[in-house]
Amino acid sequence: MTTERLPSWRPGATRDAILGYLDGIGDVPVEDRVAYLDNDGTMWCERPHYVQYDFFVDVLRRLAPDDPTLAQRPELAAVLDNDAAKIGELGLAKVAGALAALCDGQSPTEFAAVVDDFTERYRHPTLGVPLASLVYRPMLELVEELRAHEFTVGIVTGGGTEFVRRISPGLYGVPPERVVGTMIGYELQRDDDGRPVLRRTMASMGTPNEGAAKVAHIQSQTGRAPIVAAGNSSGDKEMLEWAQASPHGGLAILVDHDDADREFAYQSKAATFQDDEPVTAVAQRLGWTTVSMARDWEQVFPPAS
């Protein structure tokens, strides 16, 4: 068993900055040592599609043969036709809402079973690997290092909270109550025997969890501000600024997707609003620690099993 810290990170300024920060927080009370890490594109691969998007597309394609009316909805028809232009015209937020509504009426237990079935079957469309093999090994090592410094670690997602809550304990060791994302509603109903049962509903879905909403949702759902935050897109900007501005002195980490050979090379953007400035330029301007996948990571994904 290796005792090397961050073994999948190459020696250099980025690794030194992270370890140097963590080694310098001895005066920070343990209860204030909180880290929130974005999920898509920060903890696991988000290209060519968000995994949660693939999940709801899978739900749609399994329901569509028995319910022809689904194809009559423009958002769902665009997905069934794989019409990227139409999806872009409608907007990802609107399409994602229509997809998420496919699970309306399910109990938490029923939804969890659907997620489990998908994750067992899922293979990445281009890499051909299962879900666990899409998690970035260096970020798992960062989570371990944070815990070694007595951090409470949480996961933030722009997608639906409940999907990530289901997979987070197994992939990251993060319990459901530390996952903050876009919220769906629940309605308390009664079964045939009069017992209470919760059912999913889109009726009370709130603001998509991107941008300033991430800050508001972390505070309202957990009550604990991070001093370390990691993200990869403009949708994480405010969260990283918030962590950096901590009275204790914070650390903002940006993952830059610049490795076309081992992953994908692209400029990460917010999914639900227009970017005013490339996030890498924001990182440079604000003094964030930018992680180059190509230069800073010796290994991107876990070894093939």
Which DSSP string do the residues of 145-192 spell out, in sequence order? HHHHTT-EEEEEEEEEHHHHHHHHHHHH---GGGEEEEPPEEEEEE-T
Would you say residue 237 lies in a domain? yes
Identify any residues that bridge with 290 across adjacent strands, giving them in sequence order.
Answer: 254
Return d(Cα 34, Cα 36) in angstroms, integer: 7
> Which pLDDT score is estimated for 1?
39
pLDDT the model gives residue 304: 72
Residue 8 falls inside a structural domain:
no
Contacts 24+ apart (CB under 8 A), 277-281: 277/234, 279/232, 279/233, 279/234, 279/236, 279/237, 279/254, 280/254, 280/256
* Position 279, amino acid: V
Q: What CATH number is given to the structural domain containing 159?
A: 3.40.50.1000
Residue 271 lies in a domain: yes
Establish if 165 belongs to a structural domain: yes
User: pLDDT of the chain along its 305 residues, tens only?
Assistant: 357 999 999 999 999 999 999 999 999 999 999 999 999 999 999 999 999 999 999 999 999 999 999 999 999 999 999 999 999 899 888 898 899 999 999 999 999 999 999 999 999 999 999 999 999 999 999 999 999 999 999 999 999 999 999 999 999 999 999 999 999 999 999 999 999 999 999 765 678 999 999 999 999 999 999 999 999 999 999 999 999 999 999 999 999 999 999 999 999 999 888 888 999 999 999 999 999 999 999 999 998 75
Q: Is residue 140 part of a domain?
A: yes
303 in a domain, yes or no?
Answer: no
Statement: the pTM of the whole predicted model exceeds 0.85 = yes
Number of domains, the chain: 1
Domain span holding position 140: 13-296
Confidence at residue 260, expressed as pLDDT on a 0 to 100 scale: 97
Answer yes or no: is 230 within a domain: yes
Is 133 among the domain residues? Answer: yes
Residues facing 180 on adjacent strands: 156
